[in-house]
Structure formats: C-alpha cells, structure tokens
Amino acid sequence: MRRFVVPGIAAITLIGSGAYFFVYLYRWEWNRALTSGVIFIAVEVMLVGVTLWQRIGRLAATAQASPERRRRIEARLREAPPQRTAVFDWLRPDGSSAPVFIPILMGAGLLLSGLAWVVERLARATAGSVADPGVAATMARLGPPPGGLLDDSADPLRLLRQPTSPR
Amino acid sequence: MKALRPLLVFVVAVAVVLGGVHLLQEATEYHGGVGAEAQTTVLFSIKDNDFHHGDAFAATALWQTCIATIGWTGEDEPAPAGERTYRAVLRPSLPDDTRRRLRGCIEDLVVNHVKGNVVSMYSGAA
C-alpha cells in the first residue's frame, strides 16, 4: 500500500496539471498555463527519477553476491594459491656465494657514479679559466690575414699579373 | 486480421493526435473580427496587494492593458459599479474567442500587484 502512495499522488498531479494546462490555454490564461506546464514537467522528471532509482536499487540487490558463493570462491582461492613471483629470486639462498656480491657491486657502482659526478663538477668549476686562452689562440689563427683576403701587396707574383698599373 | 492490428492501432493513434492538435489549434487560435451586437459590457472587480494609487487607477491600468492585448479601440474608461467593481463598454461587440481572450487576460494578468475577476460579460444593443 505504501509503495503506491507516492506514484499515486504523482499520477494525480500529472493528470491534473496536464489537463489544466490545456484548460488554461483554452481560456487564454497564459501565466497559469505556464505554471501548470512547469508542474507537469517537474512531476514527470520526479517520476522518471523515482523509477530509475527503484530499478537501479533492484539491479544492485541482484548484483549482491550471496555469502555462500563468496565462501566457495574463497575456498577455491585457498586451494589454488597464486604462483610465486621470480623477481627477487637472486636473494634466495641456493648454496652459491655469488649472489652476495650483487649488493657489493651495486654499492660500488653507486659509489663510482657519485665519484664521477664529483669529478665532473670539479672539472667544470676549475677548467674554465685554463681553456679560454687556448681557445682564443686557436680562433686567432682562423682569422683573415691583415688587409683582408683581397690585398695582394705582399704577393711576389703581383707584378707578373699586373705589370703596367700597380696599385 | 491479427497482422492488421498494429496498423489499425497506428492509424487510430495518428487520428487521435491530429484531432487533438486540431482541436487545440481551434481553441487557442485568434480568429479576429467583430461580434454581431452593438456593444459588449464587461463588469469586473479588482483586488490588489499594496497598490497605493487608488482603485480607479488600478482598474484603468488593468483594463487598458487587457484592451491592448486584444487590439480593441472602441472602449470607454471603466466606471465604478459597486465595491471595487467597475463596468466598461466595448463597441462594437466582441466575438466569442475575443471575449474568452479578454476574460483570460483580466483574470490571469497581474499588473503592478493588481488582478481582476470578471463578474459578467454580455453583448447587446446600445
């Protein structure tokens, strides 16, 4: 009985507001027609929401796993435990002493990397002032001769090319 | 016969929908024109909510607004006809749909917290 109260009231409101919507249109009472239309749409949306809510609730109740089924799955999982991972197998004692060096090698690699980083930072901080004069000397040799590349006043073959009008 | 049943239902549904739309169109469409009588007399009362400019002004404001919505020109100013009741005359008379339209306006519209109620509306000779 209780589950029919809300849908019953909503249905009566829906029918009444829908009917009065047309009655008010017939009477040319636009404001009242608009109000009836808004009530109609509001109740309609409410009914759709209630219906969806009830159906989702039923689906959720259906999807709930039964306790007996849950116990059966747990027992099955206990019977078939997951396979052991092999990621850290090198840590397991297998009679050989070789794995003991692996952490030592990793630590040594870490120390050497740190040492290399320190050396690189030290070189960067101290080699700048020494390298600059050497670079300047090298760059100076790459420059054009005095007077430019077209000046042939020091060329011994100049008279042979232009005997009558030396520049 | 069983196969024709959906078709029959569809035809009936289309006829009902089209008939309903046509009825609604006829009910709400403004056909215009004038009535056969010489004049229409409207007796209406007013109510207001803190309208401080007097009943005559309230009645005139409501009346003029509604007359403008039906596009009528031959009207008199509303004259007092009782306790917060006013009488107004329109010439020539209003046809049926325009009378319904005027009644709907007076009873549905709220102008400056003033609303009205049609006591009577009749058409007749001058």
* Structure ipTM: 0.77
Q: Quick: pLDDT tens for A21-44.
A: 989 988 889 899 999 999 999 999
B49/B11 same-domain check: no
Of B24, B100, B110, the CB nearest to A28: B100
pLDDT at B118 over 80: yes
Integer angstrom CA distances of residue B123 from A34, A136, B32, B52, B55: 30, 115, 16, 33, 25
pLDDT at A135 over 60: yes
Q: CB distance A27–B108 less than 8 Å?
A: yes
- Per DSSP, helices labelled H in A27-145 are 30-63, 67-79, 101-126, 128-141
Q: CB distance A25–B27 less than 8 Å?
A: yes
Confidence of residue B52 (pLDDT cuts 50, 70, 90): confident
CA–CA separation, B80 and B44 (whole Å): 10
B56/B115 same-domain check: yes
Confidence of residue A167 (pLDDT cuts 50, 70, 90): very low
Which A-chain residues 30-49 have CB contacts (< 8 A) with chain B?
30-32
Predicted pLDDT at A129: 65
Average pLDDT over residues A112-133: 85
B43/B17 same-domain check: no
B18/B48 same-domain check: no
Confidence of residue B60 (pLDDT cuts 50, 70, 90): very high
B64/B2 same-domain check: no
Q: Quick: pLDDT tens for A61-93.
A: 887 777 888 888 888 888 887 787 777 776 777
Of B28, B103, B105, the CB nearest to A25: B28
B10/B50 same-domain check: no
Average pLDDT over residues A79-108: 79
Q: How many domains does chain B have?
A: 2
Average pLDDT over residues B33-58: 89
CB A17 within 8 A of CB A36: yes
Q: CB distance B108–A30 less than 8 Å?
A: yes
B19/B68 same-domain check: no
Integer angstrom CA distances of residue B105 from A11, B5, B15, B51, B97: 30, 46, 33, 19, 12
Residues of B with CB under 8 A from a CB of A: 24, 27-28, 100-101, 103-105, 107-110
B10/B46 same-domain check: no
Interface probe with A: pick from B102, B105, B106, B108, most Cβ of A within 10 Å: B108
Domain extent, residue B23, equals 1-30
| Other C-beta atoms lying within 10 Å of the C-beta of residue A106 | 10
Burial group, residue B116, by CB count within 10 angstroms (0-12, 13-18, 19+):
buried
Q: Fill in the amino acid letter for A43.
A: V
Q: Is A22 on the interface with B (CB under 8 A)?
A: yes
Predicted pLDDT at A112: 96
B97: domain CATH number? 3.30.70.3400
Of B24, B103, B109, the CB nearest to A25: B24
Predicted pLDDT at A40: 96
Signed CA dihedral, A37, A39, A40, A46: sign only: positive
B44/B20 same-domain check: no
pLDDT at B50 over 60: yes
Q: CB distance B107–A31 less than 8 Å?
A: no
Average pLDDT over residues B43-48: 93
Question: What is the residue-averaged pLDDT of chain A?
Answer: 83
B19/B51 same-domain check: no
B55/B111 same-domain check: yes
CA closest to A35 among chain B residues: B108
Closest CA–CA distance from residue A27 to any residue of chain B (Å): 5
Closest CA–CA distance from residue A23 to any residue of chain B (Å): 10
B43/B75 same-domain check: yes
Of A22, A26, A31, the CB nearest to B108: A31
